């Protein structure tokens, strides 16, 4: 398996963003519900967000095929919010390996001092991936939005440089 990372361009890589949007639309209802809390399920808004200032998207390619996108958004000086979107059957080990590579670049080349992500408390798979990359639970919680009729508790996990 050959793992490659490449920064995506919202114009030149439109087809790849369309693929990522399809992953989201094909995902289970709970995933779409949690995405709608902070993001959007509207196609035009999703595509417009790819052009946001301070946002950098990194494509994760396995054997030349896009399997995930990591979204990095500068939220303050030297601080990045991190999220990812992937095909439904992506190997978590692939995300973890790419996460380590991105982490090295973010804190090495780009001078990040803090990166964080918000994950629903019940999403054990993503929490395990976050922790395997090196994110730690920093004790910050947020109750925001609903999924399956329940209030969602979000856990903030952080990486420090």
Q: What is the pLDDT of residues 127-153, one digit of tens each?
A: 999 999 999 999 999 999 998 889 999
- Tens of pLDDT, residue by residue over 18-35, are 999 999 999 888 888 888
Q: Which residues contact 26 (CB under 8 A, 6 or more apart)?
A: 88
Per-residue pLDDT, 135:
97
Cα separations (Å) of 118 from 109, 123, 126? 24, 11, 10
The pTM (predicted TM-score) of the whole model is 0.91
How is the beta sheet containing 136-147 ordered, strand by strand?
3-7, 55-62, 65-76, 79-86, 114-120, 150-160, 136-147
Residues paired with residue 159 on neighbouring β-strands, in sequence order: 115
**Gap between the terminal Cα atoms of the chain:** 29
- Tens of pLDDT, residue by residue over 63-104, are 999 999 999 999 999 999 999 999 888 999 999 999 999 999
Cα separations (Å) of 82 from 79, 101, 120, 150? 10, 14, 14, 24
CA distance 83 to 104: 16
* Complete domains list, the chain, with CATH: 3-160 (3.40.630.30)
């Amino acid at each position: 398996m050959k793992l490659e990372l490449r920064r995506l361009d919202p114009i030149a890589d439109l087809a790849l963003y369309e693929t990522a949007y399809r992953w989201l639309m094909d995902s289970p209802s709970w995933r779409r519900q949690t995405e709608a809390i902070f993001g959007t399920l509207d196609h035009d808004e999703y595509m417009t967000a790819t052009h946001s200032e301070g946002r950098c998207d990194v494509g994760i390619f396995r054997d030349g095929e896009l399997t995930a996108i990591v979204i990095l958004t500068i939220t303050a000086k030297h601080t990045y919010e991190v999220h990812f979107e992937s095909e439904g059957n992506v190997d978590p080990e692939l995300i973890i390996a790419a996460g380590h590579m991105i982490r090295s670049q973010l804190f090495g080349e780009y001078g990040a001092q803090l990166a964080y992500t918000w994950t629903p408390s019940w999403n054990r798979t993503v929490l395990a991936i976050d922790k395997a990359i090196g994110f730690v639970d920093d004790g910050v919680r947020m109750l925001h939005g609903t999924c399956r009729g329940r209030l969602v508790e979000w856990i903030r996990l952080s990486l420090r440089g």
